[in-house]
């Protein structure tokens, strides 16, 4: 679907929604868009970028998809792409699926006063909307990490927690990658359009802030996973410690039982009147010796 959002003598904004090859080809020919850039805009998983060929600048932005499923953990499942072509007197935006923030922007610019800086102001609005879409998911993920941290130390359903933490980590990596590539767009804007860089300054600061939180999210998720593994290892070591102590107590006793359980006829202790008492005395003495030794070494402490 092709929609002419703004149609003025000096400026045109065309929005394409899930365009057919024919619609895209017609627009490409009309505005003399480079074929390589048109092919890029068709890639569903393309990361944010800015590329300039001749008089045409091509920008890809990605926004968080608020309709993504709870188990989404890839770029394509978590985000939506906005492809932007900008040249002298025209702006073309392309999406596979419409979203509320783009509808709001189109309605805003239909009635807004037009001037020669329309293209950059609209692009800046698109930057603002796409970056703001990451506020809530990153904030929610950060809160989830804190909740999982508490659950880990309380010993709750560890298997479910580690699966959830791994999903959060994968999401954080996606956010971090997208926001890092978006930062590069602002650097290129400052290079290609130094006189316009001030228009994008707030969004430049915003993407730096979001990228920091995304990196922190990945770091916190990794730390929690490592803590979980360390606690699991600690619990295993505690179990092994108890089993080792029990084995240390029963190993000499097993030896004595094994010796006197043999069926030899000529074992002098078997005919002794006090043999049974001597056996128990020796057993108790060995247990006490081991206990005192372990206690002295601090191996029985909690």
- 230-240 tens-digit pLDDT: 777 767 777 78
Find the mean pLDDT for residues 182-193.
84
Find the mean pLDDT for residues 196-210.
86
pLDDT at 134 > cutoff 90: yes
Contacts of 267 (CB under 8 A, 6+ apart): 260
Which domains are assigned to the chain?
1-132 (3.30.460.20), 134-235 (1.20.58), 236-297 (1.20.58.340)
pLDDT band of 116, cuts 50, 70, 90: low
pLDDT band of 174, cuts 50, 70, 90: very high
Predicted local confidence at residue 289, as pLDDT = 85
Rounded to two decimals, what is the model's pTM? 0.73
pLDDT band of 100, cuts 50, 70, 90: confident
pLDDT at 179 > cutoff 90: yes
Predicted local confidence at residue 180, as pLDDT = 92
Predicted local confidence at residue 155, as pLDDT = 66
Predicted local confidence at residue 139, as pLDDT = 92
pLDDT at 159 > cutoff 80: no
pLDDT at 1 > cutoff 70: no
Residue of 220 and 197 predicted with greater confidence? 220
pLDDT band of 39, cuts 50, 70, 90: confident
Predicted local confidence at residue 178, as pLDDT = 93
Find the mean pLDDT for residues 141-160.
77
Sheet containing strand 90-95, strands side by side: 2-7, 12-17, 90-95, 79-87, 56-64, 49-53
Q: Which helix or strand (DSSP H or E) is residue 211 part of?
A: helix 201-260
Predicted local confidence at residue 209, as pLDDT = 93
- Percent over 90 (pLDDT), the chain: 15
Owner of token pair 């980590």: 169
Q: How far apart are CA 12 and CA 89, in angstroms?
A: 6
CA atoms within 13 A on the CB side of 162: 12
Q: What is the pLDDT of residues 238-277, one digit of tens each?
A: 778 777 777 877 888 888 788 777 776 777 777 777 777 8
How many other C-beta atoms lie within 10 A of the C-beta of residue 35?
A: 9
Q: Mean pLDDT of all residues in the chain?
A: 82
Predicted local confidence at residue 241, as pLDDT = 77
Residue of 292 and 229 predicted with greater confidence? 292
Predicted local confidence at residue 18, as pLDDT = 85
Which two tokens mark 174?
């996606």
- Percent over 70 (pLDDT), the chain: 93
Residue of 172 and 229 predicted with greater confidence? 172
Owner of token pair 């703001």: 132
pLDDT at 126 > cutoff 80: yes
pLDDT at 45 > cutoff 70: yes
Contacts of 49 (CB under 8 A, 6+ apart): 40, 58, 59, 60, 181, 184, 185
């Amino acid at each position: 679907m092709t929609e002419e959002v703004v149609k003025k003598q000096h400026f045109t904004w065309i929005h394409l929604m899930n365009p057919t090859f024919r619609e895209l080809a017609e627009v490409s020919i009309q505005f003399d868009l480079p074929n390589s850039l048109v092919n890029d805009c068709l890639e569903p998983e393309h990361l944010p970028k800015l590329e300039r060929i001749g008089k045409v600048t091509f920008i890809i932005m990605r926004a968080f998809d608020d309709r993504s499923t709870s188990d989404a953990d890839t770029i394509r499942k978590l985000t939506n792409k906005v492809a932007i072509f900008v040249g002298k007197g025209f702006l073309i935006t392309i999406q596979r699926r419409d979203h509320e923030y783009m509808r709001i922007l189109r309605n805003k610019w239909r009635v807004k006063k037009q001037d020669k800086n329309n293209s950059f102001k609209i692009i800046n609005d698109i930057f603002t909307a796409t970056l703001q879409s990451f506020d809530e998911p990153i904030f929610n993920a950060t809160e989830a990490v804190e909740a999982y941290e508490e659950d880990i130390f309380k010993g709750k359903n560890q298997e479910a927690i580690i699966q959830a933490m791994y999903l959060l980590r994968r999401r954080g990596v996606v956010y971090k990658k997208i926001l890092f590539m978006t930062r590069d767009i602002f650097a290129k804007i400052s290079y290609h359009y130094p006189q316009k860089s001030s228009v994008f300054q707030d969004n430049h600061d915003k993407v730096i802030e979001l990228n920091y939180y995304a990196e922190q999210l990945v770091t916190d998720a990794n730390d929690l996973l490592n803590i979980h593994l360390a606690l699991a290892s600690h619990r295993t070591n505690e179990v092994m410690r108890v089993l080792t102590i029990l084995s240390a107590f029963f190993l000499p006793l097993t030896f004595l039982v094994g010796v006197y359980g043999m069926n030899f006829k000529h074992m002098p202790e078997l005919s002794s009147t006090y043999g049974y008492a001597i056996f128990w005395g020796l057993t108790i003495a060995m247990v006490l010796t081991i206990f005192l030794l372990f206690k002295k070494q601090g191996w029985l402490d909690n």
